[in-house]
Structure 1
């Protein structure tokens, strides 16, 4: 068997892994369902969940790869089209396209035996089904492509879609719209809907903290960070800043969060507050049941709608591999630093990590740690053997002591500072740049 890894995915994380493997001389074959790179940022891709008005919710300088900054003319909060171009430029600059099979749907990944015995990968393309063997497997197909579609009591007679099926604001023209769920996508889409729908309501199960995109004229995520504050003090300081710039969302009808700041991902959108304050949209409680075109809410109120958009998020999904092989427990695989299997050295999951401000550079560092580990094992370096021992000793998600709310989408959330410190320390020990 030729020594090479199978790499699934050519989105941001997959491209980062491809770049690092190419640089470190680790042979690999990439597989990508789409006809090109960019992952979900390519709105025309077969699994894209993008919509026409989508932009980054983090600023470009806090998101871009450190060794490949975005063009000067790119907006501070780029659109999906600018990001597709960015990834195309990235792949061209580092000569990554030739390492991929495009238009290739991976059907199954099965180990040939114990750790180190290899993997059989089966895929389908325009010419038919194929299979080959590889020494290892890296999964980097993303976390935001399989919709989470909760069941509701009753039957709705109008149109109902998931946010993954939303593309254009014209889909709302003249309709009475209810958006269920108020995450970042739900709030973005609500802002679209108020300009096209006859009416727009948002149903929320819990409250959120809202963060403006700009503070003192600068992208909010570029402010602060020079001095690391204890979390208790940081909550006080940042909470005061949010009060100054956002005010009290409860006065617009938004429920009060039942958790503390930073225990869940915030909503990076102040326009939704603007429209709520102008009466363009109304806030509703959680849904109790459907009855024809009528939606009954848990507070006893009800209203009629023509269309429901479920902005209920996404679930982790690796359909081509048995979840048991990923050490899946609860809502997510339990992997050391969210990427390394406790027992196998030939299986890695990249990009299954979320944190405010982690950016694509954080994913690049994750990939570099993994690739340097593989490289170190081949040399039997003491540092790689130490990492092998550490990852086998228990699950470490690098939360930094944060008690995140118990939701599936938070199952792989980490504390940025804690996570990057752990990853870059291992990179340094494995021969990379010092932590």
Structure 2
């Protein structure tokens, strides 16, 4: 029997997962489709959905790994290439490259009595190997969610995943469908190249600036803990005072409380709406040729429609039933732990305002510690498993009434989520001295942390 675990993916989540497994002496093999680490942040990765003008929407202070800060001089909101270099440096610093098989596609993960059979393909050669467990860290932004248009469009129709450069907009009448963070980035890009730019928006959003008083917005307000409803009300009032109401720019106002959907961190979109560089439109009700009709009856012609309509969870190498899939996402405890399969972990299938990569690293530490404790048969690991079985369907939402959207199906409240992770980690670490050393044949060369 193979005592190794398979880590699928070498993006930020895969890398911190690999590092934590290594810390706790858990043998593993990393499997990565691309030829290098970094995931979607490596724009040279043919599977990346990154675009050339992309930057972090959260500040580096709130996003970086605490014990591996970004280099001095890195911009507050770094560009994708700086982040790619950061993850490559992370992999070198913790000697993770040697643990990965690159240019390797995972074709199938199938459970059996010994663990998991994993079939991979590399250089045209297929092989099936037995692993003790599987940790899936392939990310959530790969499979485009591309709704059908109400009619036939005769112009150029693309999804945001196909957008790479503002040059794609040159000389075109462009309609951006959607108003999330990427949609707003792309609309701002289009302003400087397209003949015209419109945005089709169905619902309201909260718009946040990246800076307030010269400081990153996401670094403010953390010192004072307020009741949830009061924080929602107060932050919404503050943002309205600073930014105004979306309806003042021609956009619908949100009909939900702040933080019940992911906010848009972009003040330039409002700037260009206010200057007439971008025209706000309603929902699309009909398409014929190059003519688009909107919910208010107005019509306009376009050469390109860019659907910045987001992504859907997609794990083509595993049966959704094996993930306890329910509705728009797998039903897992803390978005990680399967209620029955103790050797399957969904790494990084979590979104939260301000969670950052440090929050994901804490998730990885908990999983690695749980595996190590389970290997020794500790009581604390069994207690966590019982908690998982009883609470797999519950969300760490902190009481927020998140919108019923596919992209919000795996959204959590940062404070609630990190507190739960920390609580379980403390319980497992308290039992750590009772763990018997793993047999030498099971250890990585780095040994235990």
Match of 2:28 in 1: 28
Map 1:43-82; keep pairs closer than 5 Å. Answer: 43-82=43-82
CA shift, 1:396, in A, is 2.4
Match of 2:237 in 1: 240
Map 1:114-193; keep pairs closer than 5 Å. Answer: 117-193=114-190
Q: Distance in 1 between matches of 2:269 and 2:334?
A: 35
Gaps of 5+ in 2: 433-449
1:393 partner SS: helix
1:130 partner SS: strand
Do the aligned partners of 2:245 and 2:253 also contact (CA within 8 Å) in 1?
no
Do the aligned partners of 1:33 and 1:46 also contact (CA within 8 Å) in 2?
no
Match of 2:276 in 1: 279
Q: Distance in 2 between matches of 1:417 and 1:98?
A: 35
The alignment status of 1:228 with 2:225, answered yes or no, reads: yes
2:422 partner SS: helix
The alignment status of 1:270 with 2:262, answered yes or no, reads: no
Moved more, 378-387 or 63-72: 378-387
CA shift, 1:383, in A, is 1.1
Match of 1:361 in 2: 358
Match of 2:410 in 1: 412
Q: Distance in 2 between matches of 1:379 and 1:123?
A: 30
Residues 26, 432 of structure 1: alpha-carbon distance in 2 compared, 3 angstrom cutoff: farther
Do the aligned partners of 1:145 and 1:314 also contact (CA within 8 Å) in 2?
yes
Do the aligned partners of 2:402 and 2:408 also contact (CA within 8 Å) in 1?
yes
Where has structure 1 moved over 6 Å in runs of 4 or more? Answer: none
Q: Distance in 1 between matches of 2:367 and 2:50?
A: 29
2:349 partner SS: coil
Q: Distance in 2 between matches of 1:217 and 1:176?
A: 36
Q: Distance in 1 between matches of 2:2 and 2:177?
A: 50
RMSD: 1.2
Match of 2:419 in 1: 421
Q: Distance in 2 between matches of 1:277 and 1:302?
A: 21
Match of 2:15 in 1: 15
CA shift, 1:46, in A, is 2.2
CA shift, 1:432, in A, is 7.2
CA shift, 1:5, in A, is 0.4
Q: Distance in 2 between matches of 1:194 and 1:139?
A: 39
2:338 to 304, 323, 341: 341
Do the aligned partners of 2:133 and 2:344 also contact (CA within 8 Å) in 1?
yes
Do the aligned partners of 2:14 and 2:138 also contact (CA within 8 Å) in 1?
yes
Higher relative contact order (CA 8 A, sep 6+): 2
Do the aligned partners of 2:323 and 2:330 also contact (CA within 8 Å) in 1?
yes
CA shift, 1:237, in A, is 1.9
Match of 2:106 in 1: 106
TM norm structure 2: 0.95
Do the aligned partners of 2:116 and 2:134 also contact (CA within 8 Å) in 1?
yes
CA shift, 1:11, in A, is 0.4
CA shift, 1:182, in A, is 0.6
Gaps of 5+ in 1: none
TM norm structure 1: 0.98
Do the aligned partners of 1:40 and 1:47 also contact (CA within 8 Å) in 2?
yes
Do the aligned partners of 2:107 and 2:121 also contact (CA within 8 Å) in 1?
yes
Match of 1:208 in 2: 205
Q: Distance in 1 between matches of 2:2 and 2:349?
A: 28
Give CA deviations for 1:198-245 in whole Å, capped at 9, x if unaligned.
000000010100000001110000001111101121122212221232
Match of 2:316 in 1: 319
Q: Distance in 2 between matches of 1:185 and 1:384?
A: 40
Number of paired residues? 431
1:174 partner SS: coil
The alignment status of 1:295 with 2:292, answered yes or no, reads: yes
Do the aligned partners of 1:41 and 1:50 also contact (CA within 8 Å) in 2?
yes
Q: Distance in 2 between matches of 1:184 and 1:306?
A: 23
